Structure 1
Amino acid sequence: SLDIKVVGISGSVGKTSTKEMIASVLSQKYSVLKTEGNFNNEIGLPLTVFNLRKEHEIAVLEMGISGFEEMTRLAKVARPDICVLTNIGVAHMENLGSRDGILKAKTEMFAYMNENGTIILNGDDDKLRGYSPENGITPVYFGLDESCGFHAENISGKGLNGTDAQFFTPNSSFTAHINIPGAHMVYNALAATAVGYALGMTDREICAGIEANVPIAGRNNLIRAPHFTIIDDCYNANPTSMKASLDVLAFADTRKAAILGDMFELGENEKQMHREVGIHAVRKGIDVLICIGSLMKSAADGALEYLEQQKNAEYTEETPSSSAHFPTQICHFATKADFLREAKELLKEG
């Protein structure tokens, strides 16, 4: 067997982007093998493990599930030394029943980790904050709350050009620039800082890894085309990640168009969750909201109803920050083909 440290990463949202950030940080000091793409299931994870070679010092493994007992099987293969949970959201609610069910399924990872290992949790997540693992390991927390051992302050958004932040560890602090836009990327950097700290890295090494992280295709990837700037975040989605993508889009100082498709495996409240995404787009001042698919009809309906309410109401805190800024268009298409027939008219420069 190989003497390799294993970092296992799971959570409802942000597994892949957190994996990429952690691998970027660890690569500043170690030879790292990471999960490619999202090879994070019962087929993909073993295939990743089979790629381990003598030169590798650390494996960074993304661990994705959609049902109970799946994480147990993955953990038996991975045997992580460090376990990272990004958050407990609503993805796969259809199979896992509730957020408590999701928490139970995700934390199956701990049963097969190194008994002297490290558990790193998002301290701003209501389900993870204060969670007590059955294996007796005291978790390390990251988050924006100062009570977390790893937290961030002086966060300064740079629009689509990323974010500056000051990162605090239990013993030090440093400032770093995150290249990928979005407030959620600060959490990814904090998780990576906690992992790097657990593996004996210096602040300078961790900072260099945060600043070296770049987006991958389909994951908040900024594409500057001749006439458009495209935010490619199309690989997969759930309500939390879709709202985060809309938050990123809202940073743009030009005409903003959101093209959204159906989200699956959300359970009995799926229509309401889609509706909330549509309302969020209106609140963020998106100029053109394009909803594609049967479930996205609820997003379009919710956006239209909310827009009408706001047009008829006085200014409130719920209204977009830019005065009287509402989407100029809200469109729903049953299929992608239907949308493509009208795309040129909807997607304009400006």
Structure 2
Amino acid sequence: MFEKTIREICTMLDVKNDLSAFDSVIVKGVSIDTRKIESGNLFVPFKGENVDGHQFVRQAIENGASAALWDVNVPNPPEDIPVIVVEDPLLALQALANKYRHELDLKVIGITGSNGKTTTKDIVANLLSVKYRVHKTQGNYNNHIGLPLTILSLPQDSEVAVLEMGMSGFGEIELLSNISQPDAAIITNIGESHLQDLGSREGIAKAKLEIVKGLKPDGLFAYYGDEPLLQEGVKGIGIKNMETFGRSESNNIYPTKIEMNNQGSYFETSVAEGETFFLPVLGQHNIHNALAGILIARHFGLSVDEMKEGLRSLKLTQMRMEMVEGKKGESIINDAYNASPTSMKAAIGLVSELEGFRTKILVLGDMLELGDDEEEFHQEIGRLIDQEKVQQVFTFGRLGTFIAKGALENFPEERVHSFMDKESLAQELSSLIKGDELILFKASRGMKLEEIIEGLKG
């Protein structure tokens, strides 16, 4: 991890106070939470609407921090402890991350997209781990604070960092790209998430394309080539090394054969003819994510056999197409981490096509951050459900009622169940389960559908 003396930190930042008395103090790692301080940390305080982190600086030192940043506009910085006064602690944190990134002999892969960022991050990291010392974004550390913290936590012998980049508005991905200076970048797709902030899918595409702003001149840019908005958006951006992935044969890499079962997906590709890859994850959209990973792996010199090993041993972050077994023997797909119309359609399509189940049940909740047309987006999802391939539809939440409304255009009333509380939904669902069902749970993170799954698992 980041390890410097205060004297060295003062050469990296525009420091506003005299710290000569603390020159030799060693800082190891960075923390923004006094409850998680580790010995030697640099504590970074932020001024929030309700709480000012500066009031906890002394506590951070008492808890083991070696030093703390301090905003020059906050009066009375303590002089008896190592406090580094800077123009803005957040900007200082980002500057330290950028400088540390360049000190390491490190390749960075940046990943963004409306859906599939975390899955693609896991795939790319697992592929490259076959050959390199790889570290990746943990949890949701993918924003203007989390990404710098991720970089500063990297071991000094790291060879590859796989960084997820999230956003809610324009300029955010550009900032993250400029901080991390990626050697390769991926856009997984353009969906409907953040429509309320960006106004249109065109706006989302423009914001996601900011990832190339910090891309190294010889870096690889891989994007979902079946998306017209990306095809149009890359025109004139001046990136000389671009490759596409997707279903269409116009892409640089596409699947030539796909077979799926309960254990995962087998597929062949246009770039390794006759070679079968196994991905222990369900869904054609995840095969597309794997194709992006193969492009990156090939760029960094992995052989086909190394790629096969990296995909075969993949373990995804929880609640992303995670197959678990219920206490009655039912098969449960836990895809409850997040949802958008694009990912919802993909998950429903997967369930519709999987064979070997007497009954297929969908448990679908609200998709959030969709803007003014959110009700229509939900109703459209309901209309798309095929009553010949899905036997029961359960919805949860206010917007979920519009999924139910759409489903009722094709389904008999007794096969569509809409709920506003989880307990009633769980009771009704449990009464239907015999043990040979396939049940999909899918909703935005805020709906916490995994709470129902925990009850089914017993």
The normalised TM-score by structure 1 is 0.89
Report the secondary structure of 2:359's partner residue: coil
The 2-side partners of 1:240 and 1:79 are apart by 29
The 2-side partners of 1:138 and 1:293 are apart by 45
| 1:336–1:43 Cα change, 3 Å | farther
Unaligned runs of at least 5 residues, structure 1: 309-326
The 2-side partners of 1:129 and 1:231 are apart by 33
Of the candidates 309, 322, 326, which is equivalent to residue 208 of structure 1? Answer: 309
Q: Which residue of 2 aligns with 1:336?
A: 422
| One-letter identity of the residue aligned with 2:320 | R
Report the secondary structure of 1:164's partner residue: strand
Query: Does 1:219 pair with 2:219?
Result: no
The 1-side partners of 2:275 and 2:388 are apart by 31
| 1:65–1:304 Cα change, 3 Å | same
Rg larger for: 2
The 2-side partners of 1:196 and 1:284 are apart by 40
The 2-side partners of 1:110 and 1:133 are apart by 12
Q: 1:143-292 maps to which residues of 2 (within 5 A)?
A: 143-158=246-261, 160-169=262-271, 174-227=275-328, 228-250=330-352, 251-252=354-355, 253-283=357-387, 285-292=389-396
Report the secondary structure of 1:91's partner residue: coil
The 1-side partners of 2:142 and 2:387 are apart by 34
Deviation, structure 1 residue 289: 0.8
Q: Are the equivalent residues in 2 in contact too, given 1:292–1:333 (CA < 8 A)?
A: yes
The 1-side partners of 2:387 and 2:432 are apart by 20
| 1:173–1:51 Cα change, 3 Å | farther
Bigger Cα displacement from structure 2, 58-67 vs 339-348: 339-348
Deviation, structure 1 residue 173: 5.9
The 2-side partners of 1:87 and 1:111 are apart by 18
Q: 1:104-119 maps to which residues of 2 (within 5 A)?
A: 104-119=206-221
Unaligned runs of at least 5 residues, structure 2: 1-102, 437-458
Deviation, structure 1 residue 220: 0.5
Bigger Cα displacement from structure 2, 122-131 vs 89-98: 122-131
The 1-side partners of 2:153 and 2:300 are apart by 22
Bigger Cα displacement from structure 2, 293-302 vs 37-46: 37-46
Q: How many residues are paired up?
A: 330
Q: Of the two structures, which has the highest relative contact order with CA contacts closer than 8 Å and spacing of 6 or more? A: 1
**Aligned residues: percent identity?**
36
Q: Which residue of 1 aligns with 2:179?
A: 77
The normalised TM-score by structure 2 is 0.69
Report the secondary structure of 1:201's partner residue: coil
Of the candidates 404, 417, 425, which is equivalent to residue 300 of structure 1? Answer: 404
